[in-house]
């Protein structure tokens, strides 16, 4: 009997997360936003053939909020698939009265130039009321060729 109760309680708890995202209509606090974003973005998947990425945007205008969310997701996809890391290292040695002094400096820069993300599709979209504006969450899918 205990085992059945534990299983039922576990199923109810796992179902709470999905219903939380599905039934959410407004964001009331930063903790609320963080919880919703974490649940929504756990759908992110990467494989050799498909990349799924979530994005979000906020604006007082609903259309601008949606465009920001799509751009956010597209930037994340481009950063994964088309980024370039430029690294430079500088090592110098100098001699003084006490011995040899060594200096090491390394800089790394993540560059994203002329990236194109085309052929994506919006898998799901959720619009929430937040304060005096709109928060839009989107999930994009891009198939790699």
Residue 69 in any domain: the answer is yes
Name the more confident of 74 and 1: 74
Classify 119 in phi/psi space as left (phi over 0), alpha (psi -120 to 50) or beta: left
Per-residue pLDDT at 16: 47
Higher pLDDT, 12 or 86: 86
- Asked if pLDDT for residue 145 goes beyond 70, the answer is no
Q: Residue 135 falls within a domain, yes or no?
A: yes
Segment 68-90 mean pLDDT = 81
Span 106-130, mean pLDDT? Answer: 80
Model confidence, pTM: 0.61
Residue with the bigger pLDDT between 98 and 9: it is: 98
Element (H, E) at 52: strand 50-59
User: Which range of residues forms the domain containing residue 70?
Assistant: 28-92+118-145
Q: Domain for residue 22, yes or no?
A: no
Return the DSSP state at 80: H
b/e map 97-113, b = 16+ CB within 10 Å: eeeeeeeeeeeeeeeee
Please tell me the distance from the alpha carbon of residue 115 to that of residue 78, in angstroms, as a whole number. 6
Q: Is the dihedral angle over the CA atoms 78, 81, 51, 14 positive or is it negative?
A: negative
Q: Establish if 139 belongs to a structural domain.
A: yes
| pLDDT on residue 19 | 56
More confident residue, 81 or 65: 65
Q: How far apart are CA 52 and CA 140, in angstroms?
A: 6
For residue 120, give the 3-state DSSP assignment: coil
CATH number at residue 125: 3.10.28
- pLDDT, residue 106, reads 81
pLDDT exceeds 90 at position 66: yes
Distance of alpha carbon 115 from alpha carbon 122, whole angstroms: 19
Report the number of distinct structural domains present in the chain: 1
Q: What is the pLDDT of residues 2-40, one digit of tens each?
A: 555 455 555 444 544 455 555 566 777 777 777 877 777
Classify residue 43: in a domain, yes or no: yes
Amino acid 37: pLDDT: 76
| Residue carrying structure tokens 């009331």 | 28
pLDDT exceeds 90 at position 128: no
Residue 17 confidence (pLDDT): 47
């Amino acid at each position: 009997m205990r085992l059945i109760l534990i299983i039922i309680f576990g199923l109810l708890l796992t179902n709470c997360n999905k219903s939380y995202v599905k039934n959410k209509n407004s964001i009331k606090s930063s903790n609320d936003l963080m919880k919703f974003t974490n649940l929504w973005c756990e759908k992110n998947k990467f494989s050799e053939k498909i990349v799924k990425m979530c994005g979000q945007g906020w604006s007082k205008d609903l259309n601008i909020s949606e465009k920001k969310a799509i751009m956010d997701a597209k930037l994340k996809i481009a950063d994964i698939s088309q980024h370039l890391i430029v690294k430079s290292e500088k090592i110098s040695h100098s001699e003084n009265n006490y011995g040899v002094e060594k200096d090491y400096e390394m800089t790394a820069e993540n560059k994203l130039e002329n990236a194109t993300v085309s052929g994506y599709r919006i898998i799901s979209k959720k619009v929430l009321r937040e304060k005096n504006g709109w928060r839009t969450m989107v999930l994009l899918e891009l198939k790699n060729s």
